[in-house]
Amino acid sequence: MTAQDVILRLILGGMLGVTGQGIRVIVGLKKLHHQANQEAKTFSDLFAPPLLLVSIFIGFIAGSLAIVGMSESGAALAITKETIITLLASGYAGTDFIEGFIKKYLPESESAAKPVESNVADEQPVMG
């Protein structure tokens, strides 16, 4: 397997992971819209674009890690419907795992510990 093959696999896994995470984001945005209506706030009061970008990036990482786990050393990876679904699921579920790990084991920064009134970053369901 050449370096080009490895890079292409990582990109394929990452892009399918992003797609799986995108499904999760859609669900999260709907929840956020509902939460904004319940709290009599606007959607933009609760929406955090940087959190969305981090979430998408984590989906890429989850998909890339999944395709590495699926690949046999030197063997060609058959791109079947099952492979695609597995990588989509890795972006969806893998992001939950990675974000849970981050929240549990990494210390919270001071700025995140003191949310501004209009920023409810601790309660963001944007990522699902």
Distance in angstroms (rounded) separating the CA atoms of residues 123 and 7? 36
pLDDT (0 to 100) of residue 92: 87
pLDDT (0 to 100) of residue 56: 92
In the chain, where are the structural domains located?
3-123
pLDDT (0 to 100) of residue 70: 84
Q: If you average pLDDT over every residue of the chain, what do you get? A: 81
Residues of the chain with pLDDT under 70: 73-75, 108-128
**Other CB atoms within 10 Å distance of the CB of residue 38:** 8
Distance in angstroms (rounded) separating the CA atoms of residues 128 and 7? 29
pLDDT (0 to 100) of residue 16: 93
pLDDT in tens, 72-87: 766 677 788 998 898 8
**Other CB atoms within 10 Å distance of the CB of residue 42:** 11
Considering the entire predicted model, what is its pTM? 0.72
Contact status, residue 77 vs residue 67, Cβ threshold 8 Å: yes
pLDDT (0 to 100) of residue 38: 92
| Spacing of C-alpha 119 from chain mean position | 21
